[in-house]
Structure 1
Amino acid sequence: MKNILDFFILEKESDFCNRRSIVIKFALIATIVLFSLFACINLLIQQYWAAIIDSISAVVSILSYIYMQKTGNILLSIRIVTFNIVVFFLVFAYISQATHFSLIWTIFVPIFAIISNGKKVGLYFSLLFYTLLFALSYHYINVWNAGEWHFVDWVRLVLASTILTLCMYIYEALLDAAQQDLQLARAKERQRSEELHQQSVTDQLTGLYNRRYYDNMIDKLSFLAKRQELCITFFILDIDYFKYYNDYYGHIKGDETLIQVANVLQEHIQRGDDFVFRLGGEEFAGIILSNEKEKTHQWISQLTTIIENLKIEHKASKISDFLTVSIGIATLEHLDGEKNIDLLYKYADKALYAAKYGGRNQSRIAQES
């Protein structure tokens, strides 16, 4: 029962490759043209019943095409047209009575059904069509075409139709497999490209953005700040006496400490428009966009206390038994063409120097900004 319902279950259009979408649109137009042409020909030769059937099929195809254009539902349209073709060829087979090898035209049903609907649904349509066609043609053995339709002819029809349908199914299955392999290869390529890009803009040790990403982002963030009329604040954070720390505890312990400091920065500064970086060595930086300059300064200054409260032992430090940091902060307000965003780094670096000269384990705000 579930398989029967699959005839009309609409799959997501993304499940169909672009090739099939093109085929479906072409098939809809082709059925309109062919059915309309057959209707005119049969009308001219006074085959009125055939002309009526062709006209009905043409109308169904036209309505399906209009529905597809208005709603974009390609799959439902092709399901309707395929069912229309199944009915058409069954009626055609009954009317033609196998004269002049007319049943040869039925080979187009599995070709159209499988290429347009995919191997699974197309196979269902083909099985439905041939089950009815074989039963109909077997029933009329020695009756159709004034008794010239024989059992041998019927067997040939069954074998030829079965082989053709099987070949079309295998062909479509191979195309689907090739398409899936191609999509998988492209997905791996995109993933690898993203990984390479991520590696190029992040610090491998801490996972923070690196100096290269800072250089790429600073102009974009300054433009965003100017457009939204926000202040842009830049700070540089440097670990106090970190060279002594490495000499005393070793570089492995030093790397672990850098990661801990980076984690504090990530947890403390986590808004979407704010960024933290590792500039190199024991030096970190961050950019914050805000319309509250004083509050931002206080927020950044809290980092000195937060990091000292980690209680990371630092016996080689000259100012504390624990790891400490110094911070230089600079802010630009009302950005305009006269203020170079590069001044931020200069101001923050000068404020950092003042914090270190003033005894370390503190933050200083650049007055020039």
Structure 2
Amino acid sequence: MRPFTFSKARDVSSAISDVTSHEKAKFIAGGTNLLDLMKIDVMTPRHLVDITNIALKTIEENEEGGLRLGALVSNADTAYHEQVEKRYPLLSHAILAGATGQLRNMATDGGNLLQRTRCYYFYDTDTPCNKREPGSGCSAIKGYNRDLAILGTSEYCIATHPSDMCVALAALEAKVNVTGKDGDRVIPFAKFHRLPGDTPHIDTNLKEDEIITSIDLPAKGFAEHYTYMKLRDRASYAFALVSVAAALEMDGDTVKEARLALGGVAHKPWRKPEAEAMLQGKPATRGQFQKVAEAYLEGARGYGYNDFKIELAKRAIVRSLEQAFKMEASS
């Protein structure tokens, strides 16, 4: 790990002032991803601003009748919060599918959104990686790419976003509240993360001086018909090969609204609202779900070792929708 300076912020304003007054500065909270990357020289900030003492650790009702998750609430506290479990069980289940209990105790909700990819070549500083060193090339495209993206890729990067929590937040259509030197703004979750394009080193649309203050969940939580499915190589502490957050609003056997988000397949949680709309007003049948799965994976491309993920994702979508439909409100 390279030397760095360190300061502790007392509030949001001082944190922003501190990070803008130092070159190559980063905020740090739980540090469960950043410190790992610093140890292997993938990220080399010269200054860290500790934000753990800022008062962003509450979960409360927001103006829309949903919940506001403070950016510094731990993943564990969010997953086990009474109102999250009751109103947004999809989010609770997704969080509990990720990492380990120890990591969930440390990791924060804001930090979860800012995780970097777990691509082997991003972590290996001896290999070219456009995400780590822009313009150096993408070793994964012709390398061992079994875990990597099949949707939204570019010739510059086929990395995937690793979060489980973010897949659920995408399906719920959350909003991210941020503050920077130019003031406050709200970023719809669908626009928070970026596809790689020709700038894969830029993961999000968050500005360098901006800090996430909270995440807003809408009033509708799809608590009666939902599922989070994570397909992975082992049951514990493994990132998704494919994950699916599925949420349905039903009128008997007819779908009133459907939400889907995929993880493990793209540079960001993958949504395709036009495919979801195919279910609106339609009976919840396997045949209808298969049509949606085909539409969701239209344009998918494998790179050799990960070709299997295309069919795996289709089957996961169908199975997830079936499970969400069959759920009882009391489950």
TM-score normalized with structure 1 length: 0.23
Structure having the higher Rg:
1
Normalized per residue, the structure richer in strand is 2
Which structure has more relative contact order (CA 8 Å, sep 6+)? It is 2
TM-score normalized with structure 2 length: 0.25
